[in-house]
Structure 1
Amino acid sequence: MKRFLVVFLLVCLAGFQLFAGGQKQEDDGVYKVAYIARAQADSFAAWLANSVVEEAEKYPDVEVKVFDGQASDDKVNSLIENAIVNQFDAIIIQPNNGESQRPYAEKVVDAGIICITTNARISGIAGASSVDADPFEQAAVQARTALKQVPKGANVVVLNGPPGNFHADARRESWENEFFAKRPDVTIVGEQIANWNKDEAMSLMEDWVQANDRIDAIISMNDNMAAGALEIVKDNSKFSNILSYGVDGTAEAVLLIKDGLMTSTTLQSAYALAENLLSVSHKLLTGQEEQLDVDIDCPMVNKDNVDQYIEMHKRAGAL
């Protein structure tokens, strides 16, 4: 009986050690971070996701896994729930629609998991952190410039991001306050939601070109939609002098500016966002900080300085 008890205890001890060793091996001293992108088909979202993965290589104790939300609230929310179930140490959420993702981000916090929202942040979640830029100022940089550049009595078209998205709504509000309210002579001959999507913008621009003999400017809430609209008119001599404004400073946009096809954009550097996302994540994971909110700068990119941003993308391997 005593011998059986000793053997039983040894087996239990071995099992405990095996379990403990398995946990240690599974964790391996590495923090698991889930990065949930709103849509990899979106050029900026893809740029940001890739930058996050590259930046994570500088942190040997951090492992990032990227998940594609496919521009669907249901998909993004499902991915957040799965990341909670799989007990990631931190979950970074790039919302498709901030208010739709809010209750799921709150679930992350309630589960005791580090929650960071980015591009765009979901504000007002107790215990959550964020890394973002000021979308009102991003658009204002363009709108203030457009005040002087858009001709008197101009016809313009406006391409909006998804409704309810913090960046989409704030950028449109900025254009209203900083440009349209000050230029009552300007007529909006077309305005639609294109969901940050190049193909949707192309389709809308095709309709607007057919309906209007003159369009003087494309006012877009991001570069991807602006690039789509420009694709439609690039070989049409009637629109050879069209102005075009965006936000993001993507590799495609800086080349369009260099070629004289796009007027300007505001840099929303995915590299800077990624750098801050990993820095914030690491500080939170290691207990150096409990909560952080960080904003990056939003400089103008135009024909006068575009070469430095082309070089930026070349150094990062994007061009």
Structure 2
Amino acid sequence: MKKRRLIAMGLSVMMTMSLLMGCGSTSNSNSSTSSAGSSTNASEASSNEGSKKTYRVAYIARAQSDSFAAWLANEIMAEAEEYDDITLDVFDGQADDEKENTAIENAIASKYDAIIVQPNNGEAQRPYVEKVVQNGIIAITTNARIDGIEGSSSVDADPYKQAAVNAQLALEQIPQNAKVVVLKGPSGNFHADERRKAWQIEFFDKRPDVQIVAEDFANWNKDEAMALMEDWVIAHGKIDAIISMNDNMAAGALEVIAGKPEFENTLVYGVDGTAEALLLIKEGKMTATCLQSAIELSELILDTVHKLLTGEEKQIDTDIGSPIITKDNVDEYIQMYKERGLITE
């Protein structure tokens, strides 16, 4: 049987962000070429294109250590290459509110034409995105959007729907009187909170027989999920289902129980549809995930920022779809990754 392997999506992001981050860095350094193939010094771009306007865009990513955030940053960089009037610089928030907020402030000071923010903690970033708007710069929040900022646009997915499709499937799959554990994203994060809310309404309220034996924040992080799962396995023994608010945490929990016969039938649910999760579903180790397509998100993000920059639209708030992925349809999504070069055989 052929072995599949994952391309290290985070590698190029890590290299780019390590060059660009440094809180005092500006977009017009030589390193900005690394952030997107079309990214060059704005004045150089303007001279090359004659009188054509070139727009400088900053993307503030949540954290390259998060597999989905790394995938999204890579896709945004690739999509930016399709626009000859956009130069893109990417900065890493390193899953740290202070660092992400500093990056936003630096982007404002550097007078970017547009700043796209993937929040680490929406409420922590809110006042800084408000500053973007106040400075007359186009502001877009994504994955997750920050609601209620007048003058800011958003491109996102519906996190309630993402979890609901899993929860509705789990109603029929999780056995009676099951013991389950729940891995949560960061407290106060819109996606984390809405996904947990969906699981409560769509599953736990309808299945009072199911016992949550452990629940905690793993902050989208695989290592944190592994540490929690190690403790839970010792404390509770056999666990019937792992309910995770994203794939990265689900994969971490799965590493802990890998090869243990008593966990062979443990059901595992996640969100994002990462390449790693798809291979785990294909191998029968993970039950289901909801695709949050970084490909679709990046296309919408760049389309949105371009329409706002050129004045075609003044305000845009839009969502991508929320398809469920199981063993029955996983092959078509694996093929999607193969075509992007993210899974090879």
What TM-score does the superposition give when structure 2 sets the normalisation length?
0.85
- The letter for the 2-side match of 1:303 is K
Which position in structure 2 is the counterpart of 1:10? none
Check if 1:193 corresponds to 2:213: no
Of 188, 195, 219, the residue aligned with 2:243 is 219
Which position in structure 2 is the counterpart of 1:70? 94
Check if 1:152 corresponds to 2:173: no
Check if 1:119 corresponds to 2:143: yes
Give the SS at the match of 1:182: coil
> How big is the shift at 1:26?
6.6
> How big is the shift at 1:172?
0.3
Which position in structure 2 is the counterpart of 1:177? 201
Mapping 1:1-319, distance limit 5 Å? 24-25=43-44, 27-28=46-47, 29-319=53-343
What TM-score does the superposition give when structure 1 sets the normalisation length?
0.92
Give, in whole Å, the separation in 2 of the partners of 1:309 and 1:25.
40
> How big is the shift at 1:64?
1.1
- The letter for the 2-side match of 1:220 is S
- The letter for the 1-side match of 2:105 is E
Give, in whole Å, the separation in 2 of the partners of 1:265 and 1:78.
34
- The letter for the 1-side match of 2:247 is D
> How big is the shift at 1:25?
4.0
Which position in structure 1 is the counterpart of 2:17? none
> How big is the shift at 1:318?
1.1
- The letter for the 1-side match of 2:209 is D
- The letter for the 1-side match of 2:290 is T
Give, in whole Å, the separation in 2 of the partners of 1:64 and 1:252.
28
Give the SS at the match of 2:129: helix
Which position in structure 2 is the counterpart of 1:17? none
Give, in whole Å, the separation in 2 of the partners of 1:114 and 1:176.
36
Q: What is the CA deviation profile of residues 269-315 of structure 1, one whole-angstrom value per residue up to 9, with x for unaligned ones?
A: 00000000000011011111111001000000000000010011111
Give, in whole Å, the separation in 1 of the partners of 2:68 and 2:42.
37
> How big is the shift at 1:30?
1.9
Count of equivalent residues? 298
5+ residue gaps, structure 1, are: 1-21
Give, in whole Å, the separation in 1 of the partners of 2:270 and 2:237.
23
> How big is the shift at 1:27?
4.7
Give, in whole Å, the separation in 1 of the partners of 2:97 and 2:145.
15
Give, in whole Å, the separation in 2 of the partners of 1:30 and 1:23.
7
Give the SS at the match of 1:102: helix
Give the SS at the match of 1:179: helix
